[in-house]
Amino acid sequence: MKNLDVIIVSYTKDQECYDLTYNCLKTLFESESEIDIKAIVVESQYGIDWFKEIGESKNIETLKAPLPYGYHKFLNFGRKHGTSEYVALCNNDLVFHKNWASKIIDFGESNPEFMSFSPICPQTQPKMGIGINTGIYAGLVIRATVSGWCIVQKRKIYDVIGDLDERYTHWYSDNDYAMTLGSKGLNHFLVTDSIVEHHHRMLGRTTEIVIEDKEFLDKMTFGEEKIFKEKWNLK
C-alpha cells in the first residue's frame, strides 16, 4: 500500500473556519481505502487537536504553526514532519472525491520520472476548457494545470528543487513553484480523473488576522509581486 502525507494549512479562529478544516479532513479520510494517508495539519489556532476532533482512529497530527503566517513556510514545516513517499500540499477549503489520491499515485507510479501533479477542480478547470475525465494535461500554467490549492508530489522532488521559497506569504506562491519546476527541467501534470473541489475560502479566512494590517497586505500583494519579478527577471 502506498503512503501519502497530506499537509493542510488551517486557522480555526471561528466556527466557519472549524467547519472548513473539519470537512476537509472528513472527506480526505472517506476518499481512500487503498492509500495509507497521514494528515498533518499546520494549525494557527493553538489548543485545537484535530486528532481528537476527527476521531482517534484516524492518522492525524496537529502542529502548532510557526507564526507569523507564511503559506510556503507552513508547508515546508509540515512536510518535514512526514516521511511518506508522496506528499500533498493543501488548503483547508477542499472536498476530496473518491480515489482522488489513488488516481494520481497510479499515474505517478506508471511514470517514475514525473514528480509533480494536481487533481482537477470542477469549479475551475472546466471554465478554462479542461474537462473532467479528459486525460492527462502537462504544463506549468497556473489554475489550468497547476492547481496551487492541491499539489501532490513525490517527496524526492525536494532533492531537486529544495525547500519552497518562504519569502512568499501567500500571493505568487504557486507561480514561483511553477517557475521553479521549469527552471529545473521538470513538468507538472493535471490528472483529470482525480477530483478535488476547491471552494476558494481559505485565503480570506486564514489570513483575516492580518488583512486589516495595510503594511502586511501590501507585502502580500505588491511586495510579493516584486519578489517574484526580481527573482525570475521579469518586467
Q: Are 36 and 58 in contact (CB under 8 A)?
A: no
pLDDT digits (tens, 9 = 90+) for 84-105: 999 999 999 999 999 999 999 9
pLDDT at 205: 44
Between CA 227 and CA 62 the distance in angstroms is 31
What average pLDDT does this structure show over 17-45? 96
pLDDT at 51 over 60: yes
Q: What are the structural domains, with CATH classification, of the chain?
A: 2-231 (3.90.550.10)
Between these two residues, 205 and 220, which has the higher pLDDT value? 220
Between CA 5 and CA 89 the distance in angstroms is 9
- 99 DSSP assignment: T
pLDDT category of residue 220 using cuts at 50, 70 and 90: low
HSE, side-chain direction, 13 A CA sphere, residue 117:
31
Residues making up the chain, counted from first to last: 235
pLDDT category of residue 40 using cuts at 50, 70 and 90: very high
pLDDT category of residue 235 using cuts at 50, 70 and 90: confident
Supply 23's cell numbers.
Answer: 470537512
